[in-house]
Amino acid sequence: MNTIYWAGDSTVQTNDYTTYPQTGIGQVFPLFIKSDYHVENHAKNGRSTKSFMDEGRLEAIEERIGEGDFLFIQFGHNDEKEQDPARYTEPFSSFIENLEVFIKTAKDHGAFPVLITPLERRCFGEDGVLDKGAHGDYVLAMKQTAEKNNVPLVDLYTKSRKALEELGEEASRRWYMNFPAGEYSKHPEESLDNTHLRYDGAVNFASMIAEGLKELGGIYKEILLDEIR
């Protein structure tokens, strides 16, 4: 059985009851793949490429990843936090350099790296129109890294922006941790979180990654359930 290892942040991580109803993309991705693949999700809340490596999380993947496995690499949200030197990376220097370490780790073990651009936040303006967003330079840097290193890329950023624009300001709230007080007994207070996801959002964004893998074709398409392919 081959493994899909996932390196990323809170938009990807596997949550438990203590953070319900928050749900990560990597948590639900098994819904889209064949039974002879499984996901080992190393994504963690608040991590950037820098802090992920500094904490030994990539090293933990390196100890386990092998030939024919996949390494999904999805960062950007926390790399852009200039005020936090423990996490910040400059998009066109240290961010790219770090991504190349992830790529090399996969390739050195005969595994297949896949870069995934960061998910867009639910960033609607007062006019109900989706703002420009904050990830632009990191998306561009990730695309440049993919081209330079000849590795596949799934552009979740563009796919998610398109979906949010189509869904609209009000309806898109159900995809994110944006809900009124009293909706959840475990989370009774109001939440205006436009970054982290609920189950509906995680499944929809995971489906966009599956769509991107289908578009890549070849071994990347082979991961997916026959009904999706």
In a domain, 227, yes or no: no
Domain of residue 155: give its range: 2-222
For residue range 33-84, list pLDDT tens digits in order: 999 999 999 999 999 999 999 999 999 999 999 999 999 999 999 989 989 9
Q: What CATH number corresponds to the domain at position 199?
A: 3.40.50.1110
Token pair in block for residue 41:
């999700």
Lowest mean pLDDT among 78-92, 96-110, 146-160: 78-92
**Residue with tokens 């993919």, as numbered in its chain:** 146
In a domain, 183, yes or no: yes
Determine the pLDDT at residue 176. 96
In a domain, 42, yes or no: yes
Spell 141-160 as b/e; 16+ CB within 10 A means b.
bbeebbeeeebbbbbbbebb
For residue range 158-171, list pLDDT tens digits in order: 999 999 999 999 99
d(CA 36, CA 102): 24
In a domain, 228, yes or no: no
- Give the active site residues: 10, 189, 196
In a domain, 40, yes or no: yes
In a domain, 165, yes or no: yes
* Counted domains in the chain: 1
For residue range 191-200, list pLDDT tens digits in order: 999 999 999 9
| C-beta separation of 224 from 35 below 8 A | no
In a domain, 229, yes or no: no
